Amino acid sequence: MIHSLFLINASGDIFLEKHWKSVVSRSVCDYFFEAQERASEAENVPPVIPTPHHYLLSVYRHKIFFVAVIQSEVPPLFVIEFLHRVVDTFQDYFGVCSEVMIKDNVVVVYEVLEEMLDNGFPLATESNILKELIKPPTILRTVVNTITGSTNVGDQLPTGQLSVVPWRRTGVKYTNNEAYFDVIEEIDAIIDKSGSTITAEIQGVIDACVKLTGMPDLTLSFMNPRLLDDVSFHPCVRFKRWESERILSFIPPDGNFRLLSYHVSAQNLVAIPVYVKHNISFRDSSSLGRFEITVGPKQTMGKTIEGVMVTSQMPKGVLNMTLTPSQGTHIFDPVTKLLSWDVGKINPQKLPSLKGSMSLQAGTSKPDENPTINLQFKIQQLAISGLKVNRLDMYGEKYKPFKGIKYMTKAGKFQVRT
């Protein structure tokens, strides 16, 4: 299974390594560095790199590469999912998963990794169980450990580890009982020059924060569950019930967890919530070009689009840009040729626009292709797929909990071609 784990920062330094079976030399990462050099961006490094004696599987998150080394063939998604679980666990423990935070808490990091894998095989990956095994670091606990020489390792086995629901500890008590669910959808789309959709798909997740006393049994039903495609569940969900009734029935873990992730593909006609009007032209004889873009809402059910950010990689021949935005601020970097426009909120009555001219290098022919426009945005209280939670019921406990559902749509890789 997994032999070793290397953590590599953006500048290519290995700042942490952990070995489970036998010590694998750092030189195995040279194959990874070669692949990194060939990739134009960090996200484009292949997730699976075969070498003569090993396989290197990696994920890139928070500007850190998590590289697992494997000697025999295993299902790659199994390892990649485990690496994502490691990142999520670090985030849960330390608040943020960064190089500085990992170095500051290196002892806890090694203790957690030792519990997550046993002889290279995943063992405890549930945050609740890990927190009972290894106490999360606090300033007071760090001071006490420094003075007494003790560690964060718990004295007893987690109560949930020995039960039929290993993800939930026994004897949970709260004064305020609450269950909150966030439906978060990310839309990936490519829009062509005329505004037609080339590809569009939605990746969605339902994140939960459940703080309930005792051992509650929850059921969550949807208005339109048939929308959900390619669904991946938390182990607590009873799959048979979902297959037969399309209802989520589960005993929830304590605290924050991801209940399910799903996919809505283009076959279901994904709604595109924004449009971009553009006029970008380069003249053959002149050293000037014209640049105009306007961003507007479309199919948003009356909800406001906020946090809008427009970026575009201009051709090498563009020396400078003189632009005037109707709202927000813009920056053009003449070295990297990257244009960034921070729009903010879109007011449908007064659409934001960015207009002006481009200075081109004298004597060069006009660029072969126009730049593409990348968008980032957020829409609160809207799931763009149309997914709606019908009701949440609780069984097995007498009290009435507070319940809440929140929806959000945001842009993933949203690209407009000009």
Q: Which of 27-31, 73-77, 287-291, 384-388 has the lowest mean pLDDT?
A: 287-291
How does pLDDT run across 271-283, given as a tens digit for each residue?
A: 899 999 999 988 7
Between the alpha carbon of residue 23 and those of residues 46, 49, 212, the distances in Å are 24, 19, 44
Highest mean pLDDT among 37-41, 110-114, 368-372: 110-114
Confidence of residue 250 (pLDDT cuts 50, 70, 90): very high
Per-residue pLDDT reduced to its tens digit, 312-362 = 999 888 899 999 999 999 999 999 999 999 999 999 999 999 999 998 887
343 sits in the region (left: phi over 0; alpha: psi -120 to 50; else beta) called alpha
Q: What is the CATH number of domain 178-270+382-416?
A: 2.60.40.1170
Two structure tokens written together for 178: 């609450």
At 396-406, the pLDDT tens digits run 999 999 999 99
> Which amino acid, residue 344?
G
Question: What number is the average pLDDT over the span 190-219?
Answer: 94
Q: What is the pLDDT of residue 380?
A: 95
2-148: which CATH topology? Beta-Lactamase (3.30.450)
| Greatest distance between any 2 Cα atoms in the chain | 80
Instruction: Enumerate the CATH 2.60.40.1170 domain ranges in the chain, comma separated.
Output: 178-270+382-416, 274-380
CATH 3.30.450.60 residue ranges for the chain = 2-148
**DSSP code at position 413:** E
**Do 237 and 208 form a contact (C-beta atoms < 8 A)?**
no
Report, as an integer, the average pLDDT of 123-142.
82
> For residue 159, is pLDDT > 70?
no
From the candidate CATH numbers 1.20.990.10, 2.60.40.1170, 1.10.150.80, 3.30.70.890, the one assigned to the domain spanning 274-380: 2.60.40.1170
Classified as helix, coil or strand, 268 is helix
The pLDDT, as a whole number, for residue 202 is 94
CB hemisphere CA count around 240 (13 angstroms) = 0
Q: Which residues contact 88 (CB under 8 A, 6 or more apart)?
A: 127
Of the pLDDT bands very low, low, confident and very high (cuts 50, 70, 90), residue 270 is confident
Q: What is the pLDDT of residue 130?
A: 87
